[in-house]
Amino acid sequence: MASPPDSLSPALERVLERFGGVVRRVCWKYQFRGAEVDELMQEVRIRLWRAHAGHEGASENLAAIPASYLQRTALSAAIDLLRRGRARRADRMVPVDDEAEGIGQSPAPDQVLAESETAEQVERAIQSIHASRRPVVRMHLMGHSREEIAGLLGWTEAKTRNLLYRGLTDVRERLLAEGVQWNTRT
């Protein structure tokens, strides 16, 4: 059944078009494409509609909607989507990151086993270092830059560099003590 025409839709669509463009571009950078972004924008649409429909001057209010309100709406919608995702994951065991295992030729079983053992030694080495250094080391090993770590924690570049490099040095020393070495030449 088609929805009846209304005066709120054009204003809502303008807001969503503007905001949606930025959301899609930034999410693309983070490799979120397609369904999850569509779902987010749909949630934002529903929330804005519910909050404004039936109110006097709703179209004008929507046109003048503060960016901070839109931000809270989007983050609140994003949180709800995460909750639903967690509930779905709890219902059925889904591999979190299928890409991680790689595409194409599979490595030999003994190579997989050796790598898995080394990875466990890396984890034990991280667990053994000072607690203040562990989070930054883990974040760096997950591929985040020093600048990103400093920005997230509100730390100076010097403090971040200090904790990170000390932490990485500790990890390397512990690995060496366990006899873990690898070819460092390309």
Partner 1 sequence: MEHPDVETARLQELYARRVARQGTAPGCPTPEAILALVRREGGEHERLATLEHVMSCAACHREYEWLQAVDEAAVEAGGEPAGVMRPAWWRGAWPACSRACSGRGPIGYAAR
Q: Does 173 bind partner 1 (CB under 8 A)?
A: no
Q: Does 55 bind partner 1 (CB under 8 A)?
A: yes
Q: How many CA atoms lie within 13 A of 74 on its CB side?
A: 18
Q: Does 105 bind partner 1 (CB under 8 A)?
A: no
8, 9, 59, 70: which one binds partner 1 (CB under 8 A): 70
Tell me, residue by residue from 127 to 166, as one string, x for binding to partner 1 by CB under 8 A and - for no binding.
-----x-xx--xxxxxx-xx-----xxx------------
Three-state DSSP state, 31: coil
11, 12, 40, 150: which one binds partner 1 (CB under 8 A): 40
Three-state DSSP state, 100: helix
Q: Does 67 bind partner 1 (CB under 8 A)?
A: yes
Q: Can you tell me the distance from the alpha carbon of 3 to that of 71, in angstroms, rounded to the nearest whole number?
A: 28
Q: Does 76 bind partner 1 (CB under 8 A)?
A: yes
Q: How far is the CB of 88 from partner 1 (least distance, A)?
A: 12
Nearer residue to partner 1 within complex by CB, 61 or 162 = 61
Q: Does 109 bind partner 1 (CB under 8 A)?
A: no
Nearer residue to partner 1 within complex by CB, 7 or 186 = 186
145 exposed, middle or buried (CB, 10 Å; 0-12, 13-18, 19+)? exposed
Q: Does 52 bind partner 1 (CB under 8 A)?
A: yes
Query: For residues 64-101, b (16+ Cβ closer than 10 Å) or e, as one string?
Result: ebeeeebeebbeebeeeeeeeeeeeeeeeeeeeeeeee
DSSP code for 185: -
6, 34, 38, 64: which one binds partner 1 (CB under 8 A): 64
Nearer residue to partner 1 within complex by CB, 106 or 119 = 119
Q: Can you tell me the distance from the alpha carbon of 86 to that of 39, in angstroms, rounded to the nearest whole number?
A: 15
Q: Can you tell me the distance from the alpha carbon of 66 to that of 56, in angstroms, rounded to the nearest whole number?
A: 18
Number of residues binding to partner 1, judged by CB under 8 A: 76
